[in-house]
Structure 1
Amino acid sequence: MTDTALGQPQRSAPAVRIWGPQLRVLTVGLVSTITLLAFESLAVVTVAPLVSADLHGLNLYGWLTGAFFLTTVVGLVLAGAAMDRAGPIRPFVVGLLVFGAGLAVAATAVDMEVVIVGRGLQGLGDGAIAAVCFGTVGRTYPAQVRPKVFAVLATAWVVPSLGGPAAAAFLAEQVSWRWVFGGLIPLVVVAGAVTVGALRVAGTAVLSGPASGASDDVPAAPDVPGSPATDRAGVWPAVEAGTGPLVRAVRVAAGAGLLLAGVTSRSLLGIPLVVAGLLAGIGPLRRLLPAGTLRARPGAPAAVAVRGLLAFAFFGADTFVPLAITSVRHSSTTVAGLAVSTAAVVWTAGSWTQARLSARRSGRFLVTVGLGTLVLAVAGTGMALLNTQVPLAVGVACWGLAGFGIGIAYSPIMNVALNEAPPDRQGMASSAVSLSDNLGVTFGAGLGGVAVAAGTATNHPAVTDAAAGAVNGAGYVASVAGLAGAFALATAVGMVGLLAARRLPTTALAAAPAAGGPDDRAG
């Protein structure tokens, strides 16, 4: 092909590589930041029982996780909106500072209430950091390399998954659990410095073009009515200044807290709590998500909805896999940790699989295959772990397969949302997907707990769970029926997600490298 004006051969634009000179520093910064968040997440879960025992706060144990997830909702929304208004650097720096402050508060806490405040600050910062990181992927990396970026970020969880819990346990037992929180602060400084520098270099440039990474040679899917390819901005809320996003985020967090408190209550007080939660949260939630998300409208709204259902299905079972292993199978926490680590490592393998397939497969295909694998694996895990006649290794292997399934489906959903959002809505797209994900995790674990509690109240065969008994300060008994209910609920929600996934676009998830141009297989 020649240039019509000069008569000279046209030069193909050089392929953008995630480890190339244009993006290397940014990729390193994002990996460092995700590694930090992974270490924090796994380390805190490991030492939480020691924290509650040392501060005599067993009755507040659940709030160590609850406070984190509820404030994460606020951080996601605020940072996503701020990024679309003024770029990524300011919300990222604020998120880092708040996250570091939360670690410092928890490390110096004198009672359980102060630790919970620290966890709330950590969640606020974590939400802001995550929204900026994934929004930056959408704004800066072209579509053809974006699946590989998500695979690299998934890989950042491998080392923390393998070594984080053991290191945290060793530090807490040999020195103090306070050093687990305080020891993460230097990592905040290092990861933050690298990423902020990279964001300054990258600026707010959108390397993927005006269609937010969508390839001009990939046509819109005609069988997806109302595809956002024809009206990308129409499904996204307007970018706002002022306190509107903050008020809505707080209302969603409060509504989720009230709703969860209501469904877990064992008294009539639960009914008004559920009603209050719905009234407080549904309205603002609809204004924070793409139009039509709650009914899985085709395109980006369906992607956001499916992400929440996917998170519910996986984490609604993941929460109870260790409980089933330790209580039903009477195995050690080490074996339970091995099952969790296996799923985390295999998740990375699934993420790299979707990266390899994304140039020629659609988001609908990848999410359907991944979610279908997850549904079968969750059901298989429940049946294997709760039947003592089945070797324990079968249950662990099934849970590893669940990790592979979510690894295939997880990143393509974010990629679909980023591809379907205009350049000035990348922060909003990132925060919407992450918000749905966060709510899915929260309600998956919460409603699974309701199923376990309901089964425990029956006369079905039961076994004592020493760890849960210690946490609750009473002889808590986890029944096989209750655990079966939790796995069944996660499986059912995953099947709903499969139906919603049919409304995802059928176009190729990522554009292939230009013909004759440099290949990007090496990254």
Structure 2
Amino acid sequence: MTTTDPTDVLPDDRPERLLDRRHLPVVVGVVALVTLAAFENRAVQTVLPVVVRELDGWALFGASTGAGLVMFTLGMAFSGRWTDRLGPRPVLLGGLALFAGAQLVSALAPTMLVFVTGRAVSGAAEALIDTTLMVVVARALPESLRAKVFASFAAAWILPSLLGPGFAGAIESLAGWRWVFAGPLLVVLPAVLLLRAALRETGAAGASADPGARARIAASVVLAAGLAVTTFTAPLLESADTRAVGLPLVLGGVVVVLLGAARALPRGTARLARGLPAVAGTGLLTAAAFTAVGGVLPLMLVTTHHVSTAVAGVSLTVTGLFWAFGSWLNSTAPAQERFGPGTRARAGGLLIAVGSLGPVLLALDLLPLAPGMVGWALAATGMGILSPTLSTQLLALAPTSGQGRASAAQSLAGATGVALQTAVVGGAVAWFGPGMDGPRFAVLMAAGGLVALLVALGGGRVVPGRTARGEGARPVG
């Protein structure tokens, strides 16, 4: 009697999984860093009012969030190029070192100005980390797993959205707000150790010559300057005495942002030229649409429906849960096999547009709270489908030597969309002040729904060309 090794006659053709032994450390490491960023985001939102009160920094309240966005934009001007030239390892380690320094500066800040400096450094660190994590995913994991790992990124926001505010509030009550910023440092080292093997294998990809690099960096600096102007001059719209100065400054800042974005983003972004430009442009429109609704939803609930901050915070929980659900839905085999990235992008935009009607009707007091939140859940599901679709399509289209630059451009496009919409919303809130009633909130949110319709109409352009049987014939995500 002879024995035969089963592997000699039964080849191992099982599909690869995220939890396979060789992928698990990378997956756990990147998800840990995303979870860290999510907890930090929710924690900062929770304790920021306490920080402002204790440091007597009311005048710099807007700067504490705006400074991070400005430095994120500047960081994106360099992160992609550095990642392509040096490989993700040194750039990621540099970003984590900056993050650790920013947390320490914020935790030890004796004045609000120092605290704002820490938040600014944190924005630069986020730019480096975001770009390198995208490249690590592209080089360390097979293409078939990318949609699933981006779904896990969205899932990594669930616990922070549910527990982050309460956890941060408990730390603040027991030990003080400064420990909220020091605590995340405990996660950095374990995550780096898990990623160590993958980072060793993902060296520089031999970046090709980039003659337009200097022009794009200059354009990104201009873009950041415009963001700074729109962020820090919006309070001038609050008083009739300063509007004559504030309105031209805000509008001028928006123009500067648009001019900078036109040069910093891939050529053809504004007209959604097929391929990578359409991916960046769709990301910009999606970020603007979603921010137009989600960015004012808690304020609208508190202002017009007079609910508690805890109830208003339910919108953040709905966002986290259903964004993760949409990402999971996008990652399933039926979705990937039957629907191409263009179809999924259009579907996501349509869900955001339709779902925005819930908050709009809620603002007009034509719907009660629960049905309005159902609409918002639909919009969050659409965002969950769209976001990983754009990320996987970006990595599929970008050459290996340009993955860093492409990832940075995508992040920069999203930040630009958020910044432009934040300027509009912030300007309106500053202008009307206590007069911000339901109809005015409804107008702002309806505008976001209209932008989402543009995504639904143009989402198919993220696919470079058409196939004989439709763009869904070969799934890329």
How far did residue 24 of structure 1 move? Answer: 1.5
Aligned to 1:373: 351
Contact 1:75–1:128 (Cα < 8 Å) also in 2? yes
1:428 and 2:405 matched? yes
1:417 and 2:394 matched? yes
Contact 1:262–1:269 (Cα < 8 Å) also in 2? no
Instruction: Note the alpha carbon deviations across 1:421-476, whole angstroms, 9 max, x for none.
Output: 1111111121111111112122222212333445x37xxxxxxxxxxxxxxxxxx4
Q: After alignment, is 178-187 or 492-501 more displaced?
A: 492-501
Q: After alignment, is 150-159 or 268-277 more displaced?
A: 268-277
1:490 and 2:467 matched? no
How do residues 89-238 of structure 1 correspond to structure 2 at under 5 angstroms? Answer: 89-195=89-195, 197-204=196-203
TM-score (norm 1): 0.81
How far did residue 192 of structure 1 move? Answer: 3.1
1:364 pairs, out of 337, 342, 364, with 342
Return the letter of the residue paired with 1:33.
L
Query: Partners in 2 of 1:303 and 1:160 — Cα distance?
Result: 28
How far did residue 315 of structure 1 move? Answer: 1.6
Contact 1:84–1:239 (Cα < 8 Å) also in 2? no
1:258 and 2:229 matched? yes
Task: Work out the percentage of aligned pairs sharing the same amino acid.
Answer: 31
How do residues 28-47 of structure 1 correspond to structure 2 at under 5 angstroms? Answer: 28-47=28-47
Query: Partners in 1 of 2:130 and 2:168 — Cα distance?
Result: 23
Return the letter of the residue paired with 1:450.
G
- Between the two proteins, the alignment pairs up a number of residues equal to 456
For the residue of structure 1 that corresponds to 2:436, the secondary structure is: strand
For the residue of structure 2 that corresponds to 1:268, the secondary structure is: helix
1:444 and 2:421 matched? yes
Query: Partners in 2 of 1:432 and 1:199 — Cα distance?
Result: 24
Return the letter of the residue paired with 1:424.
S
Query: Partners in 2 of 1:428 and 1:300 — Cα distance?
Result: 11
Q: After alignment, is 53-62 or 437-446 more displaced?
A: 437-446
1:347 and 2:347 matched? no
How far did residue 204 of structure 1 move? Answer: 3.7
Aligned to 1:68: 68
Query: Partners in 1 of 2:236 and 2:30 — Cα distance?
Result: 40
Contact 1:317–1:448 (Cα < 8 Å) also in 2? no
Contact 1:81–1:428 (Cα < 8 Å) also in 2? yes
Return the letter of the residue paired with 1:326.
V
Q: Cα–Cα, structure 1 residues 263 and 147, in superposed 2: closer, same or farther, change >3 Å?
A: same
Return the letter of the residue paired with 2:411.
S
How far did residue 271 of structure 1 move? Answer: 5.8
How do residues 251-330 of structure 1 correspond to structure 2 at under 5 angstroms? Answer: 251-260=222-231, 265-266=236-237, 267-270=243-246, 273=249, 277=253, 281-282=257-258, 284-330=260-306
Query: Partners in 2 of 1:437 and 1:175 — Cα distance?
Result: 36
For the residue of structure 1 that corresponds to 2:323, the secondary structure is: helix
Query: Partners in 1 of 2:152 and 2:130 — Cα distance?
Result: 15
How far did residue 289 of structure 1 move? Answer: 2.2
Query: Partners in 2 of 1:277 and 1:478 — Cα distance?
Result: 23
Return the letter of the residue paired with 1:370.
G
Superposition CA RMSD, Å: 2.8
For the residue of structure 2 that corresponds to 1:502, the secondary structure is: helix
Return the letter of the residue paired with 2:274.
P
Aligned to 2:4: none
How far did residue 39 of structure 1 move? Answer: 0.6
Query: Partners in 2 of 1:161 and 1:272 — Cα distance?
Result: 38
For the residue of structure 2 that corresponds to 1:144, the secondary structure is: helix
Aligned to 1:382: 360
Aligned to 2:381: 404
Return the letter of the residue paired with 2:225.
A
Contact 2:89–2:203 (Cα < 8 Å) also in 1? no
Query: Gaps spanning 5+ residues in structure 1: where?
Result: 1-7, 207-232, 458-475, 513-523
Q: Cα–Cα, structure 1 residues 283 and 13, in superposed 2: closer, same or farther, change >3 Å?
A: farther
Return the letter of the residue paired with 1:252.
L
Aligned to 1:334: 310
Contact 1:452–1:485 (Cα < 8 Å) also in 2? no
Query: Partners in 1 of 2:382 and 2:125 — Cα distance?
Result: 29
Instruction: Note the alpha carbon deviations across 1:377-420, whole angstroms, 9 max, x for none.
Output: 11221212440x63211122222222111111111011112111
Q: Cα–Cα, structure 1 residues 108 and 246, in superposed 2: closer, same or farther, change >3 Å?
A: farther
Return the letter of the residue paired with 1:202.
E
Instruction: Note the alpha carbon deviations across 1:110-162, whole angstroms, 9 max, x for none.
Output: 11111100000111101110111112222333322211111111111111111
Query: Partners in 2 of 1:40 and 1:90 — Cα distance?
Result: 23
Instruction: Note the alpha carbon deviations across 1:69-94, whole angstroms, 9 max, x for none.
Output: 11111223322111111110011011
Contact 1:36–1:191 (Cα < 8 Å) also in 2? no
Instruction: Note the alpha carbon deviations across 1:169-196, whole angstroms, 9 max, x for none.
Output: 111123211111111222223323333x
Return the letter of the residue paired with 1:324.
M
Contact 2:63–2:231 (Cα < 8 Å) also in 1? no
Query: Partners in 1 of 2:197 and 2:325 — Cα distance?
Result: 27
Query: Partners in 1 of 2:217 and 2:193 — Cα distance?
Result: 27
Instruction: Note the alpha carbon deviations across 1:458-512, whole angstroms, 9 max, x for none.
Output: xxxxxxxxxxxxxxxxxx4432232122212211221222232132212457459
Q: After alignment, is 125-134 or 487-496 more displaced?
A: 487-496
Structure number with the higher helix fraction is: 2
How far did residue 25 of structure 1 move? Answer: 1.0
Contact 1:351–1:407 (Cα < 8 Å) also in 2? yes
Q: Cα–Cα, structure 1 residues 348 and 484, in superposed 2: closer, same or farther, change >3 Å?
A: same
Instruction: Note the alpha carbon deviations across 1:3-59, whole angstroms, 9 max, x for none.
Output: xxxxx9997877443222332211111001100110111100111111111111112
Q: Cα–Cα, structure 1 residues 333 and 126, in superposed 2: closer, same or farther, change >3 Å?
A: same
For the residue of structure 2 that corresponds to 1:293, the secondary structure is: coil
Aligned to 2:51: 51
Return the letter of the residue paired with 2:381.
F
Query: Gaps spanning 5+ residues in structure 2: where?
Result: 1-7, 238-242, 464-470
Contact 2:347–2:456 (Cα < 8 Å) also in 1? no
Query: Partners in 2 of 1:42 and 1:376 — Cα distance?
Result: 27
Q: Cα–Cα, structure 1 residues 37 and 333, in superposed 2: closer, same or farther, change >3 Å?
A: same
How far did residue 372 of structure 1 move? Answer: 0.5
Query: Partners in 1 of 2:248 and 2:307 — Cα distance?
Result: 40
Query: Partners in 1 of 2:190 and 2:251 — Cα distance?
Result: 45
Query: Partners in 1 of 2:66 and 2:326 — Cα distance?
Result: 29
Contact 2:154–2:320 (Cα < 8 Å) also in 1? no
Return the letter of the residue paired with 2:106.
A
How far did residue 272 of structure 1 move? Answer: 5.0
Q: Cα–Cα, structure 1 residues 34 and 415, in superposed 2: closer, same or farther, change >3 Å?
A: same
Query: Partners in 1 of 2:356 and 2:213 — Cα distance?
Result: 43
